[in-house]
Amino acid sequence: MSKQNSETHTVKIDGLDKKGSGTGTVWRDTGGSNPRKLKLIVPQTLIGETARVTVQHPDRKTAKVLPEEIMSKSSERTVPACPHFEMCGGCVWQHWGYRYQLDHKTEEVKKFLGRNGFDTTAVNDTIGTGDPWEFRNKMEFTFGRDGALGLHELGNFRNVIDLDTCLIAEQDMVEAMLEVSDWQRAHSLSGYDKDHHAGLLRNLMVRQSQHTKELMLAVFATESPEGALEAPVADLINRITDKFPHVKSLMWMENRDWADITQSEKTHILYGRSYINDEMYGYQYRIWFDTFFQTNPRQAEKLVDLAIEMADAGKDESMIDLFCGVGTFSLPFAERVKSLAGIEIVETSIESAKRNANDNGINNTYFLAKDARRGMDEILKTWGVPDLLMLDPPRSGAGGKVMRRIGRLGTDRVVYVSCNPESFAEDISWLSAYGYELEKVQPVDLFPHTVHVELVSLLRKTRSSE
């Protein structure tokens, strides 16, 4: 690498970006009268550290580069447990002590609330998990064009890190992934090339119930499992069923679409059924390959506990569960209120919610497949104003139109569960004009070693609309 297209700098890390990478600024001497500013994004560094980096194309305003050496280390730094950490993009903070991760997540929640004018003393310290390893019940691995099977390389979505372990997934899931990798190599089956849209194997989804231990494996491929693939597929069935007695669902999913997502144009059940049984908070759920279900159910049960505690629902009260999904919160709440209406735009999720309620003997629920605003309008006409409203929107938040509709609805209490403190703070700011005050915010860590943080909050209507 010549000096014409690279420079070496020492940078002081003074912040973290939204993806959890360290950030810092250096001033380049370009030979003129004024130095030029270069903003650096340096993964695997911590605030206060000093790192040596070599930057290609330093004439740009921003550059992302891995550190060559941490010259001054933070006292909060720890040794990453995973041998793949430096290259794999699955985790970003294994180099950061877990207690400090939790502290940072608390401060992030306060930061966004403070920016939107809220009193940050309402925010409690983030609740961590006892063991920040083997917490995921779902993994989506990728087949690389070079025969690898694993996760995408840090900062390079087209390259796949061939994994021999993954410390955030259940051990059975990892061993099943490794068996599929051995099977691929034994039959010399090609991985998918995203650039040329060629190759057979695209993704491997593995799901496991932490309660029942039932396993699901779904292989996503560009061809049918029939014809020339019959012998390799028969071997896959034998390998998996012989070594993994907990497998209750083994599927082959045809996916020829150019979009790089785990979708199925045609599903072939190779063994067992199309779903597994799971349990959370004492309720039974059926989980299909595309079912949205909490990825860390141990911590998700804490979310349910907190939501129930904050809502303080009564047996004579009515409730709306907005963005209800498959009924993760609906079922526990339904047994604590007189009636509950769940609203969700995804029809398959509503069908699952109805089935889950029936499977658990719950008969005071009404699930509606509509967008949030129209769903609330329908419930208002049928039931009148509910006593309690809960919402758990996607990362993008509910949005101003939905929040204003909630404000006009005028329910006494709003419990907001969020996976994104930034969109959460923006959303609830709309409720201030309708007389709501933020009483409590409890962050919960569902995804150790990542930037993500969940929270449960309570807003109460204390005055008339302004």
Q: What is the CATH number of the domain that holds 173?
A: 2.40.50.1070
pLDDT tens for each residue of 206-238: 999 999 999 999 999 999 999 999 999 999 999
Three-state secondary-structure class, residue 381? helix
Q: Which domain holds residue 18?
A: 6-72
Listing DSSP states for 310-353 in one string gives HH---TT-EEEEET-TTTTTHHHHHTTSSEEEEEES-HHHHHHH
**Residue 450, both tokens:** 């990542």
**Catalytic residue (one of 88, 166, 324, 419):** 419
Distance CA 448, CA 422 (A): 19
The half-sphere exposure of 146 on its side-chain side, counting CA atoms within 13 A, is 8
Distance CA 138, CA 209 (A): 9
Reply yes or no on whether the pLDDT at 155 is more than 90: no
Q: What percentage of the chain reaches a pLDDT higher than 90?
A: 88
436 sits in which H/E element: strand 436-444
**Residue 245, both tokens:** 């007695």
Indicate the Cα dihedral angle 351, 356, 359, 362, nearest 10°: -100
- Specify the pTM: 0.93
Claim to verify: residue 189 and residue 118 sit in the same structural domain: no
Claim to verify: residue 68 and residue 119 sit in the same structural domain: no
pLDDT reported for residue 465: 64
Q: How far apart are the first and last CA of the chain?
A: 63
Claim to verify: residue 216 and residue 124 sit in the same structural domain: no
For tokens 């390799």, what's the residue? 232
**CATH code, domain carrying 397:** 3.40.50.150
Domain count, the chain: 3
| 82 is known as an active-site residue | no
pLDDT tens for each residue of 230-265: 999 999 999 999 999 999 999 999 999 877 888 889
Distance CA 365, CA 373 (A): 19
Claim to verify: residue 67 and residue 153 sit in the same structural domain: no
Residue 127: band (very low, low, confident or very high) from pLDDT cuts 50, 70, 90: very high
Q: Which residues contact 253 (CB under 8 A, 6 or more apart)?
A: 218, 219, 220, 221, 262, 263, 264, 265, 266, 267, 268, 289
Claim to verify: residue 177 and residue 233 sit in the same structural domain: yes
Claim to verify: residue 311 and residue 276 sit in the same structural domain: no
Claim to verify: residue 372 and residue 254 sit in the same structural domain: no
Domain assignment present for residue 261? The answer is yes
pLDDT reported for residue 260: 81
Domain assignment present for residue 54? The answer is yes
Helix axes 400-409, 372-383, angle to 10 degrees: 10
Claim to verify: residue 320 and residue 364 sit in the same structural domain: yes
Claim to verify: residue 189 and residue 234 sit in the same structural domain: yes
Residue 329: band (very low, low, confident or very high) from pLDDT cuts 50, 70, 90: very high
Residue 466: band (very low, low, confident or very high) from pLDDT cuts 50, 70, 90: low
Claim to verify: residue 275 and residue 351 sit in the same structural domain: no
Q: Is 272 left (phi over 0), alpha (psi -120 to 50) or beta?
A: left
Q: What is the largest CA-CA distance in the chain?
A: 77
Q: Which residues contact 433 (CB under 8 A, 6 or more apart)?
A: 407, 465, 466
Distance CA 41, CA 335 (A): 49
Question: What's the Cα-to-Cα distance from 145 to each of 111, 148, 221, 423, rounded to whole Å?
Answer: 42, 7, 13, 37
pLDDT reported for residue 259: 77
pLDDT reported for residue 1: 41
For tokens 């194997």, what's the residue? 201
